Structure 1
Amino acid sequence: MNDPLKPHKRLSELPFYVTPSHPCSYLDDRQASTVFVDPTFPLTMEHYEQLAALGFRRSGDHVYRPNCTHCKLCIPVRIPVNSFQPNRNQRRCLRKNKDISIRTLEADFNEEHFKLYRHYMSSRHAGGGMDKDDPEAYQSLISAHWCNTQLLEFHLQENLVAIAVLDQFQQGMSAVYTFFDPSLDRRSLGVFAILTEIHRVQEAGFPYLYLGYWNPQTVKMAYKSNYAPMEYLEHTGWHSMEDNPLFKTGK
């Protein structure tokens, strides 16, 4: 297989733009900036895979990366799945959810999925604008016309309890978003979804599951360091999370 880290010759053709400074979504006392690939450019999965290896993420048609001047706390991370070993809590989560069935679907609009998404957003992120009754906005969040996206559908008996949005590359997958029934907190469905995604990447024979950004100062992202071993990206390339000073400080 070709290593997506070398070369990045096709990325030189991409147009990028940088947003003005704006309030950070994660840390109240910080200002943020983001670099985007121009969404009007005809992206391909080859572009996207190379960008993911450079720390970019996808949300709908938008592919982006933090570009903050005075803060570098949002750190790209990925799991080398062939080395992954679930910890005690994760093994307990797997046992607890043995009765859940999983199937893979195309990323097409589904009314039942949308209903679960709204229930999740109104419970976990009420007032943020993402819990509105807007099917088009929902579909534009999870999919892009140029992207190879799968949905993992989790059922408990006949009830839909979770959806995981997963992008597939030639050498890995990217966990885009997960939403689930908030009344089933004791099942740790978010954890179960990531463990399922790791297994899917292993089954496909790929080396990496990209998890987006780890930030040790916000609960929304700090949990990602629970999946070990993990790699993080800095200017010299990907390294073991065990070598990251912020990770060592938080242990």
Structure 2
Amino acid sequence: MTDQSSQFPRFYVTAASPCPYLPDLMERKVFTELNGQNPDGLHDSLTQVGFRRSQDIVYRPTCETCNRCISVRIPVQKFTANRTQKRILKYNNDVKVSVIPNRVTDEQYDLLRLYLKERHPEGGMAEMSPDEYREMVESSPVHTHLVEYRLPAEGSGEKGRLIGVALTDELKDGLSMVYSFFDTDESMLKRSLGTFAIMSHIALAREHFLGYIYLGYWVKNSPKMAYKQNFKPLELLGPGGWTLKR
């Protein structure tokens, strides 16, 4: 007799913890491991119903009194850049965008530390060690890559200054942006590197005939999530499936 329990994922629920997006609320997550014979297939299927990956698990919120975390994605063939986004693309025309294997470097970690110190000094990742960064990037049972963003090299045979990194999963129908960080120096503000990273992923998806960029969760009235509304059209995941945001 076949042990069917080994063929289907087992789901678990975390204990309640403070919500990172809305004050005075608690969150819980349901999660499962990405293991078995076809982790990529499981990842694809669960992404379609709102799960996100972190190392070798996928999770989604399952809060008892709140359902404001909504999965969102950009339908790349319908997307049209607005005036601001076109200006950002033009301003970053000199940036070299490279898709590379998900292997860490000291240069990446140094940039991450500066980013966390400036943007998220009290966040859960603020004291991330080099080994923890390596786990985040390299402990992936699915197809994953890094995207590096560099300024022009000053000399031949040299690499330009690293100003951004994105950890990205490859799905059957799109790209899922797991985590990104960038140079927060005042000289970089006009580049809007967070927006540029998303725009570059839209270009990569179009180049490889992929349909969507998965941006994780959007929470109405959360300042941390407001930037996602700038990409239009945007699809939201609801009880009836994916629909365009109105």
So what's the TM-score if we normalise by structure 2?
A: 0.89
Distance in structure 2 (CA, Å) of the matches to 1:227 and 1:234: 18
Q: How does 1:35-50 map to 2 (within 5 A)?
A: 35-38=30-33, 44-50=39-45
Distance in structure 2 (CA, Å) of the matches to 1:172 and 1:90: 21
Ranges in structure 2 where 5+ consecutive residues have no aligned partner: 1-5, 153-159
Ranges in structure 1 where 5+ consecutive residues have no aligned partner: 1-10, 243-251
Distance in structure 1 (CA, Å) of the matches to 2:244 and 2:14: 30
Q: In the alignment, is residue 14 of structure 1 matched against residue 9 of structure 2?
A: yes
Distance in structure 2 (CA, Å) of the matches to 1:134 and 1:109: 12
Distance in structure 2 (CA, Å) of the matches to 1:129 and 1:47: 27
Q: How does 1:209-224 map to 2 (within 5 A)?
A: 209-224=213-228
Q: Which deviates the most, 196-205 or 121-130?
A: 121-130
Distance in structure 1 (CA, Å) of the matches to 2:178 and 2:114: 19
Q: Which deviates the most, 41-50 or 233-242?
A: 41-50
Distance in structure 1 (CA, Å) of the matches to 2:38 and 2:232: 32
Give the superposition deviation at 1:64. Answer: 0.5
Distance in structure 1 (CA, Å) of the matches to 2:192 and 2:177: 17
Give the superposition deviation at 1:62. Answer: 2.4
Q: In the alignment, is residue 177 of structure 1 matched against residue 179 of structure 2?
A: yes
Which residue of 72, 95, 108 maps to 2:103?
A: 108
* Residue 83 (structure 1) aligns with: 78
Q: Aligned with 1:103: secondary structure? A: strand
**Does the 8 A contact of 1:104 with 1:150 survive in 2?**
yes
* Residue 210 (structure 2) aligns with: 206
Which residue of 16, 20, 25 maps to 2:20?
A: 25
Q: Which amino acid aligns with 1:59?
A: S
Q: Which amino acid aligns with 2:175?
A: M
Q: Cα distance 1:42–1:20, how it changes in 2: closer, same or farther (>3 A)?
A: farther
**Does the 8 A contact of 2:33 with 2:56 survive in 1?**
no
Q: Cα distance 1:12–1:235, how it changes in 2: closer, same or farther (>3 A)?
A: farther
Q: Aligned with 2:108: secondary structure? A: helix
Distance in structure 2 (CA, Å) of the matches to 1:50 and 1:119: 35
**Does the 8 A contact of 1:59 with 1:142 survive in 2?**
no
Give the superposition deviation at 1:39. Answer: 6.2
Q: Aligned with 1:76: secondary structure? A: strand
**Does the 8 A contact of 2:35 with 2:141 survive in 1?**
no
Q: Which deviations, in whole Å up to 9, do the C-alpha atoms of 1:146-188 show, x marking residues without a partner?
A: 1211111100122100001111012211011110000112210
Q: Which amino acid aligns with 2:209?
A: G
Taking only aligned residues, the RMSD between alpha carbons, in angstroms, comes to 1.9
**Does the 8 A contact of 1:61 with 1:140 survive in 2?**
no
Give the superposition deviation at 1:47. Answer: 0.3
Q: Aligned with 1:239: secondary structure? A: strand
Distance in structure 2 (CA, Å) of the matches to 1:33 and 1:185: 35
Q: Which has the higher helix share?
A: 1
Q: Which deviations, in whole Å up to 9, do the C-alpha atoms of 1:101-157 show, x marking residues without a partner?
A: 111110012111111111101111113342336111112223433121111110012
So what's the TM-score if we normalise by structure 1?
A: 0.88
Give the superposition deviation at 1:40. Answer: 6.8
Distance in structure 2 (CA, Å) of the matches to 1:40 and 1:136: 22
Distance in structure 1 (CA, Å) of the matches to 2:129 and 2:35: 23
* Residue 237 (structure 1) aligns with: 241
* Residue 95 (structure 1) aligns with: 90
Q: Aligned with 1:165: secondary structure? A: strand
Which residue of 167, 170, 173 maps to 1:168?
A: 170
Distance in structure 1 (CA, Å) of the matches to 2:132 and 2:210: 31
